Structure 1
Amino acid sequence: MADYNQGLYKSWVPKPVQLLLIVVFTFFILSMNPVNAGNIGMMVGDLGTMQEYLIMANFATFIGMGASIPLILRAKLRFRSKEIMVFSLAVTALLSFVIGTTNSPELIIASSFLMGFFKMLMLMEFILPLMFILTPDGKRGKFYSIFYPFSIVTGNISGYYFANLAYQTTWQYPHLLTAGLCLLLIMISLLFQHNQRFARKMPLFQIDWVSIVFFAGTFLFMSYFLSFGKTLNWFDARNIRISFWGSLISFVLLTLRQLQLKRSYISFGIFTKSNVRSGLIMLLFMGVFLGSSSLQNTFTVGILGYDMVTNASLNLMMIPGVILAGVVAYFWFKNEWPIKMFIFSGFAAFFLNSVIMYFMMVTELNYESWLLPMFLKGYGLSAIYIAVWFYILDKLEMEPMLQAIGLVLVFRSFVATAVFSSFFSWLQYQFQWESVNNLAVYLDGNLMSSQVALSGYKNIQLNAILAANKKIYGLICIASIGMMIYVIQHHFGKVRFSRLRWEEVRFNGVLRKRKTSEAKILRERAEEIKGAAGATF
């Protein structure tokens, strides 16, 4: 009989060292990003390309991660863990080197998609052991309350470190460093990981690669549409029209193909469940707040004049809020309280963050004033990620969940954020010009020289940006009230209404006694079954 090993490392590796290696690998894998948001400005200036290409590359990473999720179980049953890790790390090292040395934005987008694809394969190798180590009782809520804050904190710390490193050197250096770290991790994997299989070897058959192409095409076309829409004036540009119809046609072909396959690449069955639909609506709500990050960047860089390191340091202020949400969530799930008020607290934190940002739209601002709004933003982000993700995946079967979770992941990390980020960018442009027109009423070219008029042009633009941001934050505050009302009235799986039906039945004394006796026997048998099931688990 074949010898299987569902762990990661060889038997002679001490348990504490195994745990340390799992944490270190998880930290570095979460930190591997093909495009660091804090370095985009420097990359645009050095490459001489449009910022939208790099925004699209960032979105392509999440699309690649979503495309690989339905293949995770197949890959794990076909290849050894060491083979998956070594090959994925080698490809990631090569792609990081390509990104750090190329001048082609199209090549950066393609490399970002592939890096996201292999990043998810590597990440799942460590999520499963971490789940059993951190929550041996199998409660997913407690695991999410630890893993999601860890992943958010890791992203914030690594983002600040890479921004600082690029500021001190060049934007290429973090990518070359990532390639070197991947080679180091390959050597550690070869030394410590075992050569045994996870389970019985299964061939890579019935994988529909055409569906993967349609899936990638759907969201890559959409990312181009949302990234370049404002710049190319939406449907006035031929490329925007092509991307719109390309995304729509690819999605239709993807859907039709799943109906013809015996083993579908993506399952749409879970979207008929109430908790999945409601969870997606709440993730869309969260996209409103995450999309407002573009307004914050415009304010910090354009108005306050922060450099890339100072701007990236603001994300470090989110860490206390992220950790607090994780601690609250852990005890919340431990006590098995209803998650309604915990989700409500996350949206309330985002609402307070928007209210504070509304009043912070001024030309001069103390750096310490960011502590409270970023703390609230961190708490809201972590709380909603934990609770809504738990609610969406609650009571789902393993196979349909793996087939659909990639689509949900792309919706959460790309679609919801990109839609509102693009919308707010367009809305800010419209409001900015409206504010300029309003301010121009008070200027008279006959009463001032051209020099004086030009000297005041900068102040007019700055005040127009502030007024536009303030309008959008006001709209977000109004919308967030509706979001909180939706959360507070939602049932979250609890039965709210019941219907009592009456039947005319004649009961005599003997029949009533027999019914009572049968009910007592049923209760006793149910307790026996319940006790046996508890002992079995």
Structure 2
Amino acid sequence: MSWDNRPFKIHDIYDFVPEKIKPWILVIFVLIYQLSGGVYLAAVSDMTGSLGLRQEDILMAGYASLVGLSLTFVVMFRLKFAYTIKSSLLMTAGALILCNLIVIFTDSVPILVGVSFIAGFFRMWGTFACNTTIQLWITPKRDMAVWFVYIYLLVQGSIQLSGIATLYTAFLSTWEYMHWVIIALLLMVVLVTQGIFKRFVFMKKLPLYGIDWTGWILWATTIMAFIFVLNYGEHYDWFDSDYIRAGLALGVISLILNLWRASFIRHPLIELRTWTIKNVWLTFLLYILVDILLSPVHLFEHIYTEAILGYDALHLASLNWIVLAGTFVGAIFAYRVFAIRKWRYKTMTIIGFMLIAGYLMMMYFTIDFDLPKKMLVIPLLLRAAGYVIIAITFITALSGISFQIFPQTITIQAFVSASLGALLGSTLLHHLFNITAKKNFMLLSTNLDSVNQRVHQIGQGELFGVLQKQAIMVSMKELYGWLVILSLLSLMVFLFKASSLRPKALHPKFKSIRKSIKHQLKMDRLQN
């Protein structure tokens, strides 16, 4: 009997640990890995103040972590078949401890960015090592829809928990304490791994040769260059700056080199045919649309809750709890109707976009200067549930693709869903907001001259503050309105688009994946 057909058992853990507890140990490890990383974007304000850096510098480090995370997918199975889970856990936890220590004691932007990139890679490697070990415990039938519900519930839930923990920690002490807490948790992972895990080899190891590491570096350069342009563009006044022009040139040149190399080398990191698959480019474009619709999350919500409503860190943390609840609602809904009842991809996409459209409409009609916090509950729930439903649907849509290039498709989708997409949406909205706010400020101030007697009754500072808040509010409502129109137009397109596809893909056995990789390496050796 093969390992895949036996009753579920984790052979990597000693038998003195009860079998029912073993999977939960790995789930806790996954949560710790997901909470770890380079920098915590929820502590941007605290870090910029204490380190004397710009907000863009901290954001650059945060996005670098996400790029490192994204590039793990394309080599994830090679790492699994090269190391035991014990070795993987010890290496990844040790590397993350070192990364967190460096972040605490440095104020150098290049070091922060580089360390965060490395931390993102090891964070995802550790997460993947744990998750693949308990996959049959989560879904004995290897149903990809069920599997991705679990993955996104864990990932999105951890993001919110990380934000909550960071906000509370920064409020009660300083942002560095969050890193010390994570270091302590990672040390616990090392000690537990050393104590109860054994070096169990369920398949013969495969070496890491045959991987396109040059392509890996080039793709990292490409994405990081574009992130630099989008992140610093507004600060450096876009193409009036040599830095932005150089960043764009570097991104374009490295992208061309990537595509050129992929046209003739035997096994490029991302093959050209991968980009031509409909499910890949369609979900890529749809993710950009989703990120544009959700761009107020990264700009307007912060401006509104902090500058307009005056919320402190504790109130902001309480809003994260609402988003976390929405994540659970969306994941449970997707599990019941998508993973179990196999509703169509089209139906799930429409539901997700309807929830996002509902979020945008509620924000458009309700935001005001004295809005009670309870009025934000429903829109935040709708936004979180809608995004999770769409994310689960889009990643499951890739599962029907040949598993030889499936890791490549996940990497491509991660480029847009984890890093570039959100930054592109927020950068576009930020640029439009600056233009709209200036226009509305001038329109609102046209009657405020020396002829207007009410102007003399109010101090200039107070008058300017009120005028600025009014301009911000009107501009936010205007852009929310345009996003509502865009979301409704998208819904109309989906409604008229016919599709009967349902989730039915199963995850292949790891033995089969290893056999395929081994055959590929053998053919490479013969051709060389």
Shift in Å, 1:243: 0.6
Whether 1:360 aligns to 2:405 is no
Q: Write the distance in 2 (CA, Å) between the matches of 1:437 and 1:7.
A: 69
Whether 1:418 aligns to 2:423 is yes
- In structure 2, what residue type is equivalent to 1:75? L
Q: Write the distance in 1 (CA, Å) between the matches of 2:316 and 2:284.
A: 30
Distance change >3 Å, CA 336–CA 425, structure 1 → 2: same
Corresponding residue to 1:111 among 112, 115, 127:
115
Q: Which has the larger radius of gyration?
A: 1
Q: Write the distance in 2 (CA, Å) between the matches of 1:111 and 1:490.
A: 45
Instruction: Give TM-score, length-normalised by structure 1.
Output: 0.88
Shift in Å, 1:60: 0.8
Q: Is the 8 A contact 1:428 1:472 kept in 2?
A: yes
Whether 1:405 aligns to 2:392 is no
Instruction: Give TM-score, length-normalised by structure 2.
Output: 0.89
Shift in Å, 1:364: 1.4
Distance change >3 Å, CA 450–CA 257, structure 1 → 2: farther
Q: Is the 8 A contact 2:34 2:155 kept in 1?
A: yes
Question: Partner of 2:520 in structure 1?
Answer: none
- In structure 2, what residue type is equivalent to 1:384? I
Corresponding residue to 1:375 among 341, 364, 381:
381
RMSD (CA atoms): 2.0
Question: Partner of 1:348 in structure 2?
Answer: 354
Q: Write the distance in 1 (CA, Å) between the matches of 2:494 and 2:325.
A: 25
Whether 1:453 aligns to 2:460 is yes
Shift in Å, 1:194: 1.6
Q: Is the 8 A contact 2:70 2:418 kept in 1?
A: no
Deviations 1:431-473 (A, max 9, x none): 1111110111011136545972332000011111111111111
Whether 1:484 aligns to 2:491 is yes
Shift in Å, 1:289: 3.0
Q: Write the distance in 1 (CA, Å) between the matches of 2:127 and 2:368.
A: 42
Q: Write the distance in 2 (CA, Å) between the matches of 1:26 and 1:111.
A: 20
Number of residue pairs the alignment of both structures matches: 492
Q: Write the distance in 2 (CA, Å) between the matches of 1:337 and 1:405.
A: 22
Q: Write the distance in 1 (CA, Å) between the matches of 2:319 and 2:293.
A: 16
Deviations 1:308-349 (A, max 9, x none): 332232121123322222222222221222232222111101
Question: Partner of 1:465 in structure 2?
Answer: 472
Deviations 1:356-414 (A, max 9, x none): 111233111111111111111121011111112111x1321112112332122112111
- In structure 2, what residue type is equivalent to 1:418? L
- In structure 2, what residue type is equivalent to 1:459? V
Q: Write the distance in 1 (CA, Å) between the matches of 2:12 and 2:151.
A: 19
Please list, as runs of the form range in 1=range in 2, the aligned pairs for 1:259-270 lying within 5 A after superposition.
259-270=263-274
Corresponding residue to 2:24 among 16, 20, 25:
20
Whether 1:388 aligns to 2:380 is no
Please list, as runs of the form range in 1=range in 2, the aligned pairs for 1:5-84 lying within 5 A after superposition.
7-84=11-88
Q: Is the 8 A contact 1:135 1:142 kept in 2?
A: yes
Shift in Å, 1:85: 1.2
Deviations 1:244-296 (A, max 9, x none): 11111111111112223222212232332222222222212211233211111
Corresponding residue to 1:436 among 434, 441, 448:
441
* Range with bigger deviation, 144-153 or 50-59: 144-153
Please list, as runs of the form range in 1=range in 2, the aligned pairs for 1:47-446 lying within 5 A after superposition.
47-293=51-297, 294-332=299-337, 333-391=339-397, 393-445=398-450
- In structure 1, what residue type is equivalent to 2:432? L
DSSP 3-state at the match of 1:221: helix
Q: Write the distance in 1 (CA, Å) between the matches of 2:487 and 2:426.
A: 16
Q: Write the distance in 2 (CA, Å) between the matches of 1:208 and 1:137.
A: 33
Shift in Å, 1:131: 2.4
DSSP 3-state at the match of 2:81: helix
Q: Is the 8 A contact 2:104 2:179 kept in 1?
A: yes
Q: Write the distance in 1 (CA, Å) between the matches of 2:417 and 2:242.
A: 28
Deviations 1:205-258 (A, max 9, x none): 122322122111101111110111111111001100011111111111111122
Deviations 1:159-206 (A, max 9, x none): 112210111111111112212221221111111222122421222212
Q: Is the 8 A contact 2:10 2:22 kept in 1?
A: no
Q: Is the 8 A contact 1:343 1:387 kept in 2?
A: yes
Deviations 1:42-68 (A, max 9, x none): 111111111011111111111101222
DSSP 3-state at the match of 1:260: coil
Q: Is the 8 A contact 2:444 2:467 kept in 1?
A: yes
Distance change >3 Å, CA 146–CA 37, structure 1 → 2: same
DSSP 3-state at the match of 2:269: coil
Q: Is the 8 A contact 1:222 1:243 kept in 2?
A: yes
Q: Is the 8 A contact 2:89 2:190 kept in 1?
A: yes
DSSP 3-state at the match of 2:450: coil
DSSP 3-state at the match of 1:14: coil
Q: Write the distance in 2 (CA, Å) between the matches of 1:204 and 1:324.
A: 40
Q: Is the 8 A contact 1:60 1:116 kept in 2?
A: yes
Q: Is the 8 A contact 2:74 2:269 kept in 1?
A: yes
Q: Is the 8 A contact 2:274 2:405 kept in 1?
A: yes
Shift in Å, 1:147: 3.0
Q: Write the distance in 2 (CA, Å) between the matches of 1:377 and 1:250.
A: 35
- In structure 2, what residue type is equivalent to 1:453? Q
Q: Write the distance in 2 (CA, Å) between the matches of 1:175 and 1:51.
A: 19
Q: Write the distance in 1 (CA, Å) between the matches of 2:150 and 2:72.
A: 24
Fraction of identical pairs, as percent: 22
- In structure 1, what residue type is equivalent to 2:85? S
Question: Partner of 1:512 in structure 2?
Answer: none
Question: Partner of 1:503 in structure 2?
Answer: none
Distance change >3 Å, CA 394–CA 19, structure 1 → 2: closer
Q: Is the 8 A contact 2:345 2:501 kept in 1?
A: no
